[in-house]
């Protein structure tokens, strides 16, 4: 279970379409998903009565690049208007148990007020899920089919799936946590999880894929070597370069790091205080998986927890 780690795969899927001239980073999302034509923002407002926020129009359209950099203002429904997200059934990153395709939820999301104005703040949320649906619209394929055809099959990532084939259910990792008695143990029976027994209809680009350390290392080696691995071309070196430089400047407030098209990017070693190299990039997932790529050292790291 890698939760948000596959956001990088959705970003690569978007960049494949970008390379083919089918989308531009500056395109408004509404060009492909009309429901995003007029979005709104929830602004906190001190009030003894009412919800504690006011809803104002977005200052500009959300773009494809806003989705890739998590600067659209879209959260996981935990912002000022969380009451509306709760009522809409859109809170939290887990979408694998949903009975409808991801597009139905992203269209509903478009009608909710977001947490910040486009481009003004780094807000982590459903951006990659919207991007995944955009990939479906533009390609005419489900996100699962597109990722399989253009990324995982070419890179021989045989154990990377949106939903687990029944014959692999015995390999599905359990999740452990601290129970009410204060002791560590399994949180739930993995065999009953939606990734195994769900409706298998909602392909979530933000946190949908299951993978293995070896498979994910193949994906990272492709990025580390400029978009090609084992003679298989996925992206051009210039696209990978564009993905792994800072796009947000002061909007991303993690000292020493910037944010590219799907990854944190190391800008100043002395400010972030971590050993590494300028130009390294990575991210992680909610189950404490993490990864990074250090092109200067020709190193990829994958931790599956």
- Residue 122: which pLDDT band, with cuts at 50, 70 and 90? very high
**Could you read off the pLDDT of 140-157 as tens digits, one per residue?**
999 999 999 999 999 999
Whether 258 and 250 have beta carbons less than 8 Å apart is answered as no
Residue 245 sits at φ, ψ, to 5 deg, of -120, 160
DSSP track, 105-120: HHHHHHTS-BSS-TTT
Task: Find out whether 72 and 118 touch, Cβ atoms under 8 Å.
Answer: yes
pLDDT higher than 90, residue 117: yes
**pLDDT computed for residue 215 by the predictor:** 97
Per-position DSSP letters for 30-69, written without gaps between them: GGT-GGGSS-EEEEE---SSSSSEEEEE-SS--BHHHHHT
Residue 277 has pLDDT above 90, yes or no: yes
**By percentage, how much of the chain surpasses pLDDT 90?**
87
pLDDT, average across residues 13-29: 98
A 10 A CB-CB count for 57 gives 11
Tokens 């949908």 belong to which residue?
A: 208
pLDDT tops 80 at residue 48: no
pLDDT exceeds cutoff 90 at 294: yes
What per-residue confidence (pLDDT) applies to 192?
Answer: 81
Angle between the 102-110 and 127-139 helix axes, to the nearest 10 degrees? 120
Mean pLDDT of the region 130-135: 98
Confidence label for 193 from pLDDT (cuts 50, 70 and 90): confident
Closest CA to 220 of 8, 11, 3: 8
For the chain, the residue count is: 305
**3-class DSSP state for residue 185?**
strand
pLDDT of residue 208: 84
pLDDT tier for residue 46 given thresholds of 50, 70 and 90: confident
Q: Residue 172's pLDDT is what?
A: 92
The CA-based angle 99-202-114, given to 5 degrees, is 100
pLDDT tens for 200-227 read 999 999 998 999 999 999 999 999 999 9
- Average pLDDT, rounded, for the chain: 95
The whole-number pLDDT of residue 76 equals 98
Q: For 198, how many CA atoms within 13 A lie in the half-sphere containing its CB? A: 21
Per-residue pLDDT for 47 more than 80? no
The answer to whether 271 and 264 have CB atoms below 8 angstroms apart is no
Question: Poorest-confidence range of 68-72, 104-108, 301-305?
Answer: 301-305
76/92 Cα distance (integer angstroms): 5
CA distances from 143 to 7, 77, 156, 214, 267 (A): 12, 23, 18, 22, 32
- Distances from the Cα of 155 to the Cαs of 20, 191, 240, 248, in angstroms? 19, 28, 16, 30
Could you read off the pLDDT of 87-101 as tens digits, one per residue? 999 999 999 999 999
The reported pLDDT for the residue numbered 179 is 87
């Amino acid at each position: 279970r890698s939760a948000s780690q596959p956001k990088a795969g959705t970003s690569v899927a978007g960049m494949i379409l970008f390379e083919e001239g089918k989308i531009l980073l500056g395109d408004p999302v509404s060009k492909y998903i009309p429901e995003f034509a007029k979005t709104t923002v929830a602004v906190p407002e001190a009030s003894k009565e009412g919800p504690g926020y006011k809803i104002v129009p977005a200052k500009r359209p959300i773009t494809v690049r806003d989705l890739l950099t998590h600067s659209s203002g879209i959260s996981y429904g935990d912002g000022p208007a969380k009451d509306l997200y709760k009522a809409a059934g859109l809170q939290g990153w887990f979408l694998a148990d949903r009975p409808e395709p991801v597009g139905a939820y992203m269209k509903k999301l478009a009608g909710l007020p977001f947490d910040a104005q486009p481009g003004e703040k780094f807000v982590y949320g459903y951006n990659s899920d919207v991007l995944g649906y955009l990939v479906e619209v533009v390609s005419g394929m489900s996100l699962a089919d597109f990722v399989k055809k253009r990324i995982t099959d070419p890179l021989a990532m045989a154990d990377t799936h949106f939903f687990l084939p029944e014959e692999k259910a015995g390999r599905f990792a359990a999740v452990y946590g601290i129970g009410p008695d204060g002791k560590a143990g399994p949180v739930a029976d993995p065999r009953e999880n939606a990734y195994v027994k769900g409706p298998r209809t909602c392909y979530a680009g933000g946190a949908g894929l299951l993978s293995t350390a070896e498979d994910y290392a193949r994906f990272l080696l492709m990025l580390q070597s400029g978009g090609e691995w084992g003679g298989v071309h996925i992206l051009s070196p210039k696209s990978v370069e564009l993905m792994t430089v800072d796009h947000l400047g002061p909007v991303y407030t993690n000292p020493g790091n910037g944010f590219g098209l799907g990854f944190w990017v190391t800008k100043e070693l002395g400010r972030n205080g971590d050993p590494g190299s300028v130009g390294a990039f990575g991210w992680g997932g909610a189950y404490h998986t993490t990864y990074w790529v250090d092109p200067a050292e020709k190193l990829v790291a994958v931790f599956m927890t």
